[in-house]
Amino acid sequence: MKKVKYIALAAVMTVFTLFPYEAIGAVDFSSDEQGWLNRCRVPQSSQADVELCRQFRAYYEKKQAALTDDLNAMRDRVNELKNDISKASSYSKELKEKMAYYDGLIATNNESIAVIQKEINRLSTAIEEKQKNIDARYDLIKQRMLDEQATLGTNMELEIIMGANDLVDMLRKIDGLAKITESDKKEIEIIKEEQAKLKLDKSEQDRLKEEAETVKRENEQNRRNIEVLKEAQDAAIAYYQQQEADLAAQMRSTQADISAIGNNIIHIDVSDVVIGGNTGFISPVAGGYVSAGTWFYPGGGAHLGMDISTAIGTPLRAPADGIVLYAANPVGSNSGYLGNWSGYPAGGGNTIHFLTQVNGITYAMSFFHLSQNGFAVSAGSQVSVGQTMALTGNSGNTSGPHCHIEVINLGSMSVSEAVSRFQSTADFSWGNGWGSSAVNNNCSVKAAPCRIRPETIF
């Protein structure tokens, strides 16, 4: 009787000790974080692999918490800009890169959640199938015992077996019996293996459900992090914009060498230029929204034009029939950042200067921060209203994709006179200057040439 008990105890230990402990040494997760994320968001094939994934999850959560602490420290650095605006450029770029990092995490996590849910559903099917197989083998063994009863006289053993409370109890009792067929022994081993796989599948399904919820919480934190960074970036941009106009004036005062940009200035016989018949304007940028109006930024600081925030690649259309006085696209479409003084005028990035007449009044218009790709005009091009001249971008001194538009009212100046004057000066401001003082050179306080708000005509 004791022998039977010992055998039964061994069977119980075999059935329930399904996942032997395996010591796992320290792993350097930092060398392949994305690989570990991908690996641990699908079911594992062993308990050792499950343990590795739990270790990686602890490592990853600790790292994300440290990044959040660093982010808060980064946010607090915005106060340094009050005394040193020269740091705004590098600080703004750093914030932009960090926001892009968190945007990337959110996108990757959303994809992972879909993958995890797919694996959870697959495990549900696998668990159901394994349980059916185990139940079928269980029923097969029971039926064999019943068949043996009639021919082999195994009444006592059968009573023991059939008195089992459940499958596990039955296996324990069967292991304690000496008289059992080799076929049944094989079936029992198969059941044990299936039970081990079933237990792992159920455990992994629970782990993946927990992982999906964890990833969702990570994305919530990532979005909060982006909000913190955006708040810091807005503050940095506001500090910068308070001094931007005077910085631009300083940079543009050094751009007096017309020969350096001669190839981008109109060089046609002015007598060949004919513009007339325009009775109004169309909006040069379809869609988008005004992110900053003319004369002043929302947070303070002079702003000599209107900013239309729109996606890179939005068509820039001729607002009326006219001629291109200047066109240049020397820099990348998405190369802009605060303090980037590329292009002409300095900070404009890729630019177009355009001349037209509407209802007898001559206007000069500047379009800044355009894409390098899609430039459809050059200096001297005569264009029709609605014709695409270029695409919007994020080049030069910018905080993000938009088109900056300035308009100069030249009054009754003839087209030929305007072309001749620009050929000799290449002055996009037409004598109205740059910087905060240029706000006073608007048409409400001085005669043409003078600055007007683009919002009044578009």
- Whether residue 143 is contained in a domain is answered as yes
- Whether residue 310 is contained in a domain is answered as yes
We report the CATH number of the domain holding residue 401 as 2.70.70.10
One domain for residues 427 and 394: yes
Instruction: Supply the range of the domain harboring residue 333.
Output: 261-456
One domain for residues 307 and 408: yes
Distance (Å, whole) CA 177 – CA 144: 15
- Whether residue 254 is contained in a domain is answered as no
Distances (CA, A) of 360 to 375, 414, 457: 29, 9, 14
What b/e sequence results for 237-271 when a residue is b if at least 16 CB atoms lie within 10 Å of its CB, and e otherwise? Answer: bbbbbbbbbbbbbebbeeeeeeeebeebbbeeeee
Q: Would you tell me how many other CB atoms lie within 10 Å of the CB of residue 174?
A: 23
Count how many domains the chain has. Answer: 2
pLDDT at 367: 98
* Cβ–Cβ < 8 Å for 423, 326: no
One domain for residues 406 and 450: yes
Q: Give average pLDDT by consecutive 10-residue segment, the chain, 458 residues.
A: 38 36 65 93 93 94 88 83 77 89 95 96 95 89 71 52 66 57 77 92 96 96 94 88 88 76 88 82 95 94 97 98 97 94 96 97 98 97 97 95 98 94 95 95 97 97
One domain for residues 131 and 203: yes
C-alpha count within 13 angstroms, C-beta hemisphere, residue 216: 10
pLDDT at 146: 74
One domain for residues 225 and 328: no
One domain for residues 214 and 305: no
For the chain, state the CA radius of gyration: 38
DSSP state string for 383-439: E-TT-EEEEBB--SS-SSSEEEEEEEEEET--HHHHHHHHHHH--TTTT--SSGGGG
One domain for residues 88 and 223: yes
Nearest to 366 by CA among 319, 399, 425, 334: 319
